[in-house]
Amino acid sequence: MTDHDFLASVARNWPAVLDELPAEYARRFAELVSQVRSARTSDEAADVSWELRMLARKLPRGHEVRIAASSTRYAAGAPVIDLADVAAILAGLDLLPEADDDPDAWLLAAASLSEQEVRDRGIAPERTDLIRLPAEGNDPQPRLPAFQFGPDGQPVPVVLAINQLLGAGADPWGAADWWLGENAWLDAVPADLIGHVADTVLLQAAQAVLWEE
């Protein structure tokens, strides 16, 4: 199966595919489809299609698009992506899933600590190498995602290092999204891998974001 076959499967199942993806991945999926539709080079289209296939793994087992994503293979001498063909396949799709009232709600729903709980551990919650999500909505207090702290209650060194790379002090929502969202480079949620993979693997994944920018 080729990229064209995979994208044709996406088009056939649109917009139902957005409804069946977990909410935190649907908007990113739509953004990527928009990117591949407007790609300027075959290589660019192929790179975006690869990330789409990684996200498609979050669809239910047996889903046509997930099967197509898993079945796509590259072979020596395979034809490059035909940009005109891709544009035709994806033409007319409504690429903006219905926005939630609070697009950051899923980040706030993650396990977290209050500023006072962090202070009780002898840690300043205002540190710029910690993700500190501002107070919003009905929650009057800023929250610090719990994945940043190890079993001993102290900040995990690799998390602090990556938070600095991601500019968590200036963009805590962006840093939280990186840690708690599905990462195509890792094929997993980075926060779930803390302590289970080498720190260098997480650092390289974070650096990959900077390279893309």
> Using 50, 70 and 90 to split pLDDT, how confident is the model at 19?
confident
Whole-angstrom Cα distance, residue 131 to residue 145?
7
pLDDT above 90 covers a percentage of the chain that reads 31
Whole-angstrom Cα distance, residue 27 to residue 29?
5
* Helix or strand run (H / E) with residue 212: helix 199-212
Average the pLDDT over 130-144 and give the result. Answer: 77
pLDDT at 183: 86
Average the pLDDT over 25-41 and give the result. Answer: 81
Whether the pLDDT of residue 213 is over 60: the answer is no
pLDDT at 21: 82
pLDDT at 168: 92
The helices-and-strands tally (H runs, E runs) of the chain is 12, 2
The model's pTM? 0.55
> Using 50, 70 and 90 to split pLDDT, how confident is the model at 101?
very low
Provide the mean pLDDT of the chain: 82
Average the pLDDT over 162-173 and give the result. Answer: 92
pLDDT at 139: 54
Amino acid at 117: E
| Of the candidates 63, 61, 69, the residue with the CA atom closest to the CA atom of residue 33 | 69
Whole-angstrom Cα distance, residue 117 to residue 75?
54
